[in-house]
Amino acid sequence: MEQRYRWKNKQLREHVQVLDGERSPTILLKNATYLHSTLKKWLQGHIWVYEDRIVYAGDRLPELTEECEIVDCTSQFLVPGYIEPHVHPFQLYNPQSFSEYASQTGTTTFVNDNLMMFLQLEKKKAFSLLKEFNALPYSMYWWTRFDSQTEMVDEDTTFSNGDVKSWLEHDAVVQGGELTAWPRLLEGDDLILHWMQEAKRMGKIVEGHLPGSSDKTIAKLGLLGIDGDHEAMTGEDVYKRLIQGLTVTLRHSSIRPDLPDLLDGLQEKGIDNYDSLLLTTDGSTPAFHEEGVLNMLIKMIIDKGISPIEAYNMASYNAANYYNFTHLHGMIATGRVANINFLSSKENPTPVSVLSKGKWVLKNSKPVEHNETIHWEEHGFTPLSLDWNVTNDDLQFSMPFGIEMVNGVITKPYSININPSTDELSTDHDQSFLMLLDRNGKWRISTMLKGFSDRVKGFASSYSNTGDIILIGKSKSDMIAAFDRMKEMGGGIVLTEDDEVLHEIPLPLSGLLSKKDMPELIEEEKTLKTLLSERGYKFADPIYTLLFLQSTHLPYIRVTQKGIYDVMKKTVLFPTIMR
């Protein structure tokens, strides 16, 4: 970043001048009942905001108010802006559209995954994009991946020591991980261990990814440097992590809506101290967020009978404490960034007004537009440009076994019991053609997919873990038609039937992300889910199905850039074929 410090010396002097009565605050919040996060009490007082910072919170009123917006907060309750500590900001939406939407319900600080940028952009363009994000009226931080969570042809080059360390050293990066490659770490991967050590040296967090891990595994990873984890699925899982000294992020997401069970489990385990607990929606797909982001999780906690103060701390102060930035976030107190939510009652976490970086993004229940422009194409997020085609010669399926969906994201091998050499498969079964193609057209891997649908004829997606192309369907001609339309619109998701396009979601940012605002994108995704469900897709989240077909941090078999991959044996069963 060009400015290493949050505020320049000149700005800091101006902040003091406000207190000395030499300069007017920009906003005065009078007669406020506000949550003090460390005292865990509701206090009465006045809050002075100057530009993007709280310069005072207490009993005093400013001497000078000539250039000040004065807001009487009588009958409202003020809490810190909510902090989402585990954002995957590329689930069709993009970091700008998600943060803008989330801010409307009080989530104004984000700790974001960098995977898509790491895989799709050169470092210089990625860092220039971070600078643009920093200018938005939301607080954006990042984590850097140490692995791709799949089997990539050139992973050693992509995740080079130099690039990973450059990300770690970036001022906007507060975390290493999430560490999906922890089995490699335990098997002796010293480069990952070196990156973890570097993160520690810089005072940054290392986040695990430990579903189903034993006490011994959690302890070993704690010794190696893991600070927290978000994969607990039961109260027992939470307890195991807390006992080993980890911070635990309670998850409620589109594929793991676990929070009610986790809260019941906390009660069963007698866990009544919440200081080491955070909250996340873990990169849920658009429609899951129809009613907001962390506000909905806080409401679930309050409805379970847990103190509202503890609930608000889980969504703000606890996360700021975990990331070592309580001097900036998670509190309504002198010196903090002015991220403040205005509530109608202590029990209703959906705000009526929101200040983010000292700017109104919601006021009296009405959105306040700021109209910032992100120059996506300048930074490398251009429409997908493919100079190759899919032909019938590509659509050859002769594998002895295919991939069966156990649920929306877990897949296992199965023996193919039909003739896959026909141009169109019967709708009497739920087996479909499946192909992964290199986005540059150099290779392909073909097999059968069982359990996706019994009536989807053609489906194409440039949205995937690595940005390579996924084709699924019963009809080879419809699969080609879907690919052709996806190519024509510069990337996206296309559903076809009888050579007609039934639905499409344009993804003009590298074929991965939409430019549309969240409400419109939510409707597009809901329509896709409905059409797929009507054609036999029986799981909750087709977007995550696309994302995780390649993801080797989940069992048991995956389709990757290297070929069909056995996760448990860590071997390629069938390699990709050059086109």
pLDDT in tens, 261-296: 999 999 999 999 999 999 999 999 999 999 999 999
Three-state secondary structure call for residue 571: strand
**CB of 257 within 8 A of CB of 234?**
no
Confidence of residue 3 (pLDDT cuts 50, 70, 90): low
The dihedrals phi and psi of 59, each to the nearest 5 degrees, come to: -85, -20
Q: What pLDDT is attached to residue 64?
A: 95
Q: How far is the C-alpha of 303 from the C-alpha of 326, rounded, in Å?
A: 27
- One-letter-per-residue 3-state SS of 499-525: CEEEEEEECCECCCECCCCHHHHHHHH
Q: How far is the C-alpha of 475 from the C-alpha of 137, rounded, in Å?
A: 47
Nearest to 294 by CA among 303, 283, 281: 281
**CB of 249 within 8 A of CB of 261?**
no
pLDDT in tens, 100-109: 999 999 999 9
Confidence of residue 1 (pLDDT cuts 50, 70, 90): very low
pLDDT at 327 over 60: yes
Q: What pLDDT is attached to residue 5?
A: 84
Q: How far is the C-alpha of 341 from the C-alpha of 354, rounded, in Å?
A: 5
Average pLDDT of the segment spanning 430-442: 97
Nearest to 551 by CA among 212, 180, 187: 180
Confidence of residue 134 (pLDDT cuts 50, 70, 90): very high
Q: How far is the C-alpha of 134 from the C-alpha of 368, rounded, in Å?
A: 19
Q: Nearest 10 degrees: CA dihedral of 315, 321, 326, 332?
A: 30
pLDDT at 2 over 80: no
Q: What pLDDT is attached to residue 154?
A: 87
Confidence of residue 398 (pLDDT cuts 50, 70, 90): confident
Average pLDDT of the segment spanning 85-89: 98
Confidence of residue 42 (pLDDT cuts 50, 70, 90): very high
Q: How far is the C-alpha of 484 from the C-alpha of 35, rounded, in Å?
A: 55
Q: What pLDDT is attached to residue 155?
A: 87
Q: How far is the C-alpha of 368 from the C-alpha of 353, rounded, in Å?
A: 10
pLDDT in tens, 489-521: 999 999 999 999 999 999 999 999 999 999 999
pLDDT at 372 over 90: no
**CB of 79 within 8 A of CB of 332?**
yes
% pLDDT > 70, the chain: 99
Q: How many residues in the chain?
A: 579
Tell me the pTM. Answer: 0.97
Q: How far is the C-alpha of 336 from the C-alpha of 36, rounded, in Å?
A: 12
Average pLDDT of the segment spanning 446-473: 97
Confidence of residue 376 (pLDDT cuts 50, 70, 90): very high
Residue tagged 């995957």 (tokens) = 88
Average pLDDT of the segment spanning 422-436: 97
Question: CB count, 10 Å around CB of 367?
Answer: 14
Give the pair of three-digit tokens for residue 86.
Answer: 């585990």
Helix or strand run (H / E) with residue 184: helix 182-186
DSSP 467: S
Mean confidence (pLDDT) of the chain: 96
Burial of 428 (0-12, 13-18, 19+ CB in 10 A): exposed
pLDDT at 230 over 60: yes
pLDDT at 33 over 50: yes
Q: How far is the C-alpha of 478 from the C-alpha of 496, rounded, in Å?
A: 6
Residue tagged 């097999």 (tokens) = 447
**CB of 296 within 8 A of CB of 284?**
no
Q: At what angle do helices 215-224 and 235-243 cross, to 10 degrees?
A: 40
Question: CB count, 10 Å around CB of 346?
Answer: 17
Three-state secondary structure call for residue 6: coil
